[in-house]
Each structure stands twice: as structure tokens, then as C-alpha cells.
Structure 1
């Protein structure tokens, strides 16, 4: 089905939202794109290496925005090539985020639709087999020349308009970059690139954790990499938490408990609820510093 046909049936006033995954900060570019494409373009906040760019508007505004993005990416590739020895120009690659319930229609019966897209546009199109973490969305990667990408996006839009998502979609949210953490003395540093940068929030937690537990001497003399320093052997600590509070510690789909695991560097196991008991057992394993930080973070929750 040719995209032009959809437009001639008044498809232009259909509002569609397309989500894209991007890396890095592209704020200035986006401002210009908003003005020139008249699509609504939003960028997810947060200190994540990945950002979600949401483009909403009539189909023609979306195509315009995508054209600008594809050409901008090509420009970036050309600029980076002028500084390198590379001879062949890599293709422009965009990653769309599409509700899994629509991916079947994009692939088509026995892969017929996606094959047709590849052949008619000359772009490479791949639908990820797995959903993105904690979501019901999949990544659809398109690569090729800017023109091939624009043609491909047009066809994807047509499919998305013809088969809307079924059921509720849990949108993908990129995770913040988990930088390695070093405890040294009473300071906490995160590693960014080649530098250790003092991390005030974690330092505060670390100091509080130090005060709250008998492990004050730990890490005062040696920089303790969590779990690496030989003087701080792994040990185990058990906590009992009332059942009705366990939810706020685990968080939605385990997000909170995973954060606590990452920040503290400790292993945390939550026992299943025992019959007749109103409490849950939490077992924390790690160095004393990891454990004290994990305990503090759990209590703080």
C-alpha cells in the first residue's frame, strides 16, 4: 500500500505519536526541529545515556521531523568521518520504540511486511525479539540513507495507523547510567570517564550508614572498592520487614530494590511470605560497608 494513498484519503490530519531512542544531548537541534517541522517533540528527562524522543503531530509533520533527524545524523556521521581514517560511510541508524502488540503487523505474516519494506525502501529494518526492560515495547532499528529511512518511517506510520496497539502499553523508560561507586574514607566517588568525582548524595548516605552501624573503622584507611578490598570480607545480615512495607522496598517491577542493590553493591534476597507470618525476611550479603549502605537505603525507603 503506497503511503501517498493514505494521505489522499485525508490521512494528513491523523495525529500519530512515534517514539525514538537517542543517545546524548541534542537540545539545540530539537528546538530548531520543533520550529521547522511543527511536530510536538519531547525529550525524556534524566541523566540517562539514552533519551526517549517523542514526536507527535499530523503525519506530514512527523515525516518532516524524521527527515530533519535523519539528515542531522548523516551530517554528524560525515563530520566524524572527516576526523577519522574510515573510507566507507556507515548508514544512518534510528531506533524506534514500538508497542509489542503492533510489532506483529510490522513484521507481517511470515515476515512478508518487513521484507516488503526492506525491498521497497532499501532500508534495513529489524524488530527486536525481546521487549525493552520493564516495558511492553520493542526496539525497531532502521538503517540506511536518510531518504530510505524517511520512506521506511512513512510505511511504518501507515502500519501503526492501520493496526493500533492492543491492550495497555507499558512504555520503556531508559535507566540512569549506573556509574561504579568507590568508597574512600568518608567520601564517596563515582567514576565518570577517567575521573573519580565526589558524589555528595552518596557520601551523605555513606556517612550516615557509617554512624548507624558498628563498622566505623571500615574504609577509613584504605580506599574500599565495594567487594574488592580484602580487609572487608563478605558477610551476611538479616532484616525483618513487615509485609505491608515490602512493596515500597521492592518498587514497581523491582525497580527500587534493584536501585538499592546497585547503589550499595550488596546482594539482597527477599524471602517469600511465610504462612501466618506478617513479616518478610531480607538477607543482605556483601562487605560491611555494602551491608550498612543497603540497610540505610532500605530504612530510608
Structure 2
């Protein structure tokens, strides 16, 4: 197996995001953090683990390709060890494969699957790993999960090949990373900015992943942020995420006819993306004779409406400055 393609020819900085259950993460952290400390020291990769008060956690590996794959190999070995030790008290005769999920921007999944599924078939056949790309995006994000199962070596080789594809086909538009839902203060990620929900407002938070966002997007983000912090109406149960169980309400906006196209997008792609991210229903009225504007009605919980309105304003701002991603 020649991994020189990525380790030699593409000596770049990579980021791999793994989605794991709390129990698996506990094993990787180890007693008093010893296991993850050893991984950091031996690999030289940056290993960040998301907040602990959720059933799922995100482990982010960042650094040069050689460091990333050293850390990744150590994580896979740890998961393999856990399977072996659980087998000692089990009556099962066959050893289950190591299974893990990585999360990638949905805009890159097409390149990964290939025309008629040819690319993913090639990856499966050349590595021997089972690879499945989720059909739906993860909640409140523009990322999808990829499930990989097999032997440690086949998984490592498979992820290397996935990384090559992702480096060749960068993500399009703004990526909203998946954040496992915490039991405490929720976080919304929109327009390249994280917001912690405090009381009736979403407060912008410093976020490490924002550093990777291009200067153009930062500029677009500043334009779109003219109405921040956007208000979130209180609900009786407290805010528990975008789908907060508050009484549905509706809000109307008027958008110039000549800008409505950038909100709808090609074959409705953009408006569907905004609906999916915000959880709100969005209806665009038909053009009215003699009017230069179109009526847009947003229906949903107050939090959904706020986020939908924010995302629409971000699109309008980006179109106005010629930065809109098609």
C-alpha cells in the first residue's frame, strides 16, 4: 500500500473530525487524560475533544499529514484493543470489525461518491473497508457522517484515500459544522460564527474552527452580522436547540425581485439549505404586478425564525458584495 501520495506529495495541514460515543471517547482520553496525552506527544498532532455533557462527542485531529495519521492509527488501535478486551467475556465467536464515523462537509460528498458511485466503489475495493455515506445531513449542520468499518489497516488506508479526494475537491460555500447537542447551553453555528444561547440572545463565541475561514467569508460575515446578536424569544421549557418547543409563529420579510434568485438558488438548493439549517418553513410569494418586491413568510419557533432570517440576510449581504457561493 503506497501512502506516499498523501504523506510525501501532499505534505499539507489536514483536519479530520471523528464522531464518537461517550464511552469510546472515555477510552481514548484514558485515566486522568493519560491516553490522549500520550497520543498528542507521540504523534505531534493537535487533538481536541468537544464538551463532555453529550452522548456524542467530536474528536478533531489537526496538523501535518504524517502527524494526523499517526494519531489516527493510535485511536484505531485503542478501539481495536477495546473490542478485543470485550471479547474475553463474550460468547461471540467472530470478532466484530472496528467501526468509526468521520464527519465531512456535505458539499464534498459528491466527489467522494463519484459518478454512479464509482469513486466510493474504488475506495471500498482498494482498501477492503466498508464505507457508507449518510444520505442526510447531521442536525443543524451542513455536514454528513461517513461510517467506515474493517480492520485497523483498511480503515487507515480508507481515510487516507478520503482525505486525498477532499483535498482535491474543497468544500463549497459556508460549512456549518455538526455540534453534538449538549445538555447545557446550546450552540448555534451560522455564517462561520459560533453563538452560545444566553437568555434571549445568541452571543457570538470565539471558535477555533473560524480560523480556517477565508478573509472573504470573514468580510461577508461582518456584513451579515449587522443585526447581531439576533433575538431569541423565550420558551417555557428553556431553549434546547433550533427546534425549541415554543409556540410556532410567523414573520414576514420583503426581498427585491432581482435578489430573490440568490435566496432560492439553483433548483431551489439555497432555500432548501436554509430551511434545513433553521428548521423553519419558508414560503416565497409569487410576483405581484407593479411591485418590485417579493413577500417571504417564515414560520416556526422563534429561534428557527431568527436563524432563518439571519441566513437570508447573510445571503443578501454576500450577493450585494459579489461573494455569494453558487
1:249 pairs with one of 213, 225, 233: 233
Partner of 1:198: none
Please state how far the C-alpha of 1:5 moved relative to its aligned partner: 2.9
Counterparts in 2 of 1:67-106, with a 5 A limit? 67-106=73-112
Taking a change above 3 Å as real, the CA distance of residues 170 and 88 of structure 1, as seen in their structure-2 partners, is same
Does 1:48 find its partner at 2:66?
no
Native 8 Å contact 1:49 1:177 kept in 2: no
Larger radius of gyration: 1
Please state how far the C-alpha of 1:7 moved relative to its aligned partner: 3.6
Partner of 2:223: none
Does 1:269 find its partner at 2:247?
yes
Distance 1:40 1:110 in 2: 36
Distance 1:89 1:123 in 2: 15
**Secondary structure at 1:48 match in 2:** coil
Native 8 Å contact 2:140 2:178 kept in 1: yes
Taking a change above 3 Å as real, the CA distance of residues 153 and 273 of structure 1, as seen in their structure-2 partners, is closer
Q: How many residues align?
A: 203
Counterparts in 2 of 1:116-127, with a 5 A limit? 116-127=122-133
**Secondary structure at 1:272 match in 2:** strand
TM-score normalized with structure 1 length: 0.61
Distance 1:162 1:261 in 2: 35
1:228-280: CA deviation from partner (whole Å, max 9, x where unpaired): xxxxxxxxxxxxxxxx99931279xxxx7445987xxxx632322489xxxxx
**Secondary structure at 2:247 match in 1:** strand
Partner of 2:153: 147
**Secondary structure at 1:53 match in 2:** strand
Please state how far the C-alpha of 1:152 moved relative to its aligned partner: 0.5
**Secondary structure at 1:148 match in 2:** helix
1:17 pairs with one of 15, 18, 27: 15
Distance 1:269 1:3 in 2: 54
Does 1:59 find its partner at 2:60?
no
Counterparts in 2 of 1:217-256, with a 5 A limit? 247-249=231-233
Distance 1:116 1:172 in 2: 28
Distance 2:165 2:109 in 1: 9
Q: Where in structure 2 are there 5+ consecutive unaligned residues?
A: 185-227, 254-299, 302-326
Partner of 1:138: 144
Distance 1:94 1:76 in 2: 13
Counterparts in 2 of 1:191-206, with a 5 A limit? none
Distance 1:118 1:274 in 2: 49
TM-score normalized with structure 2 length: 0.57
Taking a change above 3 Å as real, the CA distance of residues 4 and 260 of structure 1, as seen in their structure-2 partners, is closer
Aligned CA-pair RMSD: 3.0
Please state how far the C-alpha of 1:153 moved relative to its aligned partner: 0.9
Native 8 Å contact 2:51 2:182 kept in 1: no
Taking a change above 3 Å as real, the CA distance of residues 93 and 250 of structure 1, as seen in their structure-2 partners, is farther
1:9-32: CA deviation from partner (whole Å, max 9, x where unpaired): 3x12x0010100111223232221
Does 1:166 find its partner at 2:172?
yes
Partner of 2:312: none
Distance 1:45 1:130 in 2: 24
Distance 2:92 2:122 in 1: 32
